Amino acid sequence: MIAENPVSVKSYSELDGYCEFGFPATSFELGSLAATLPRVSSSKLDLRNSKLDEVVRAFGKVFDGREISVCRLIKAIRAHLELMRSGGVALSLVAKDLESNLCKVEQLYRRHPNECKTLASLLEFERDEMLIHRGNELEEDSAAMGLLWIRRSMSFQLLLYDSLVPTIGKHPKQAAQEAYQETLAPYHGWMLRTLFQASLQMPARPTFIAAFGEVDVSEVDSQTDTKVANKLRALVSTLEPLLQRWTDCFVAMDLEDTRKV
């Protein structure tokens, strides 16, 4: 349904005016099934105004247990891009691809904010009003295509971040390669697969911990390590239900385009 009084958004900064921050409840019920969103107290995380802190907070506001807010998702992805860039060249190609796909979502949201308040309503609008698919093959420049690849990229990031939580575990390079094979490789052709795998030259875990903690590697001690690991754990636990709901929306609307690129 087209809104009678559409809101015009002329700049990205105006998106703040359409976001209602702070869901009062962290629990919800789906039929007879009750669930609680995995939230971690900010006091326990010792959150400061760092890039990782902003990402944890931003993604915590995207999904209320029922709907995914597109406005908040855009803001969270933008914050996440800054975090990825702080990780150095290892994540540069993934970040570039993520931003390209985010632009597709932003363009549609700016034109039709009332019709695109939630992920479900955005997909329904593009599918029914803009006819962006043939079967489950999406138009390349559609917001739906952008959201599909953003979800896959975020799934890759989730597995990488999860691997950084344990003090002793896989080397980030091995974790990144395994995460890539699970989340992105099935949809990449030979050329793109070769390019991505070559780009995943991950540094050792202490380098990531230092970058995300915004300290020098020489300053990483057990306290810093624990704080950053707790924040990464909080981010992972927030992303898991979000990405599941995200996937469910695409599957329910038959928009899960599995073609290789």
**219-249: pLDDT as tens digits:** 999 999 999 999 999 999 999 999 999 999 9
**Amino acid symbol at 59:** F
**Amino acid symbol at 221:** D
Predicted pLDDT of residue 148: 98
Predicted pLDDT of residue 48: 53
Predicted pLDDT of residue 87: 79
Predicted pLDDT of residue 97: 93
Predicted pLDDT of residue 137: 85
pLDDT, one tens digit per residue, over 2-45 is 444 444 444 444 444 434 333 333 333 444 334 444 444 433 44
pLDDT, one tens digit per residue, over 178-211 is 999 999 999 999 999 999 989 888 999 999 999 9
Predicted pLDDT of residue 102: 98
pLDDT, one tens digit per residue, over 122-172 is 999 998 887 666 767 899 999 999 999 999 999 999 999 999 999 998 999
Residue-averaged pLDDT of the chain? 84
Please give the structure tokens belonging to residue 63: 């999904």
Predicted pLDDT of residue 132: 67
pLDDT, one tens digit per residue, over 79-125 is 999 999 887 787 888 899 999 999 999 999 999 999 999 999 999 99
Average of per-residue pLDDT across 170-176: 95
| Measured distance CA(178)–CA(176) in Å, rounded | 5
| Measured distance CA(233)–CA(212) in Å, rounded | 13
| Measured distance CA(31)–CA(94) in Å, rounded | 38
Helices (H) and strands (E) in the chain, counts: 10, 4
* Res. 256 pLDDT band, cuts 50 70 90: very high
Q: How far is CA 118 from the centre of its chain?
A: 15
Residue 251 has pLDDT above 60, yes or no: yes
| Measured distance CA(129)–CA(142) in Å, rounded | 12
Q: Which residue from 215, 214, 211, 176 is spatially nearest to 196, judged by alpha carbons?
A: 176
Predicted pLDDT of residue 90: 79
